[in-house]
Chain A
Amino acid sequence: MKTVNEMKLSFISKSANESFARSAVAAFLLPLDPTVAEIADVKTAVSEAVTNAVVHAYPDTFGTVIIEAKLTDKGHAVIKIRDRGVGIPDIKQAMEPLYTTSTDERAGLGFAVMQSFMDNVKVRSTVGKGTTVTLEKNFIRAAYGQK
């Protein structure tokens, strides 16, 4: 697979940026000719990962959130959402549906949404160092279109 396009986005962990971040990623994916449903899936998954960085990674402060995205010649998109926040002590537990450490009105469904809306989700995290969530999705028509 050859990378045909790449982007990197860096912003402060303000909740106002959640909307900006998911829209920017959706716009970047447009050359893959996604369906309306596929775009909605990606926007929702990115919104979950970015919201987690805003809410959980930097609980009492603001920090930087970085998104890196890549498109391949086979119509494959890889989106990484990275923070340098508090990290996740137990990733398996964090990814369980309904698990939340928040006392706010969080549903504990962020990771469940990412997993059901994307083809692949990977989480790497180190306590005190930060978290990287990698979201992947295949856009079949795009691969055909580029033959």
Chain B
Amino acid sequence: MVDMTYKNGVVTAKLYGEIDHHIAPRIRGDIDAQCEHSRPSRLVLDFGKVGFMDSSGIGLVMGRYRMISLLGGKLEVVNVPPNLQKIFVLSGLEKLGVMK
């Protein structure tokens, strides 16, 4: 699921385990609640510990991009493991300029 930290205007969401349609809504709920509370200038999604992800994870990233943009912040996606590169490339998310 997700562990969240807030520091110096940055919310970091460390995702772990498997991200699918069953799990994604809970991750979304946790991240959005934290961001509405902290109003960060930056939301960092750390995929380092994600072992599996399908297109529900892409929907999750696109949705957080919209959410944080509405709050006036920026999104960053970091530590995408090799096994998830393929789905991130296919999604075209790099065009949003959020992949670090």
The chain A residues found within 8 Å of chain B, CB to CB, are 15-16, 18-19, 36-37, 40-41, 43-44, 47-48, 51, 54-55, 104-107, 109-110, 112-113, 116-117
Contacts and interface: CB of A to CB of B under 8 A. Distances in A.
Given A44-B54, A107-B58, A51 B21 contact: yes
B67 to A, nearest CB: 10
B54 A105 contact: no
B73 to A, nearest CB: 18
Interface of B: 18, 20-22, 24, 28, 52-56, 58-60, 62-63, 83, 86-87, 90-91
Nearest to A117: B86
Contacts of A44: 52-54, 87
Contacts of A54: 21
22 contacts: A15-B20, A15-B21, A15-B22, A18-B20, A19-B18, A19-B22, A41-B86, A44-B52, A44-B53, A44-B54, A48-B54, A104-B59, A105-B28, A105-B59, A105-B60, A106-B59, A107-B56, A107-B62, A112-B90, A113-B55, A113-B90, A117-B86
Contacts of B86: 41, 116-117
Contacts of B20: 15, 18-19, 47, 51
Contacts of B52: 40, 43-44, 47
Contacts, number: 63
Contacts of A113: 54-55, 87, 90
B77 to A, nearest CB: 14
Given A18-B20, A40-B83, A105-B63, A51 B90 contact: no
A18 B22 contact: yes
Nearest to B61: A107
Contact of A107 (B18, B22, B28, B59): B59
B24 A109 contact: no
Contacts of A107: 55-56, 58-59, 62, 91
A16 B62 contact: no
A36 B84 CA distance: 12
A22 to B, nearest CB: 8
A43 B52 CA distance: 9
A105 B22 CA distance: 12
Contact of A109 (B28, B55, B83): B55
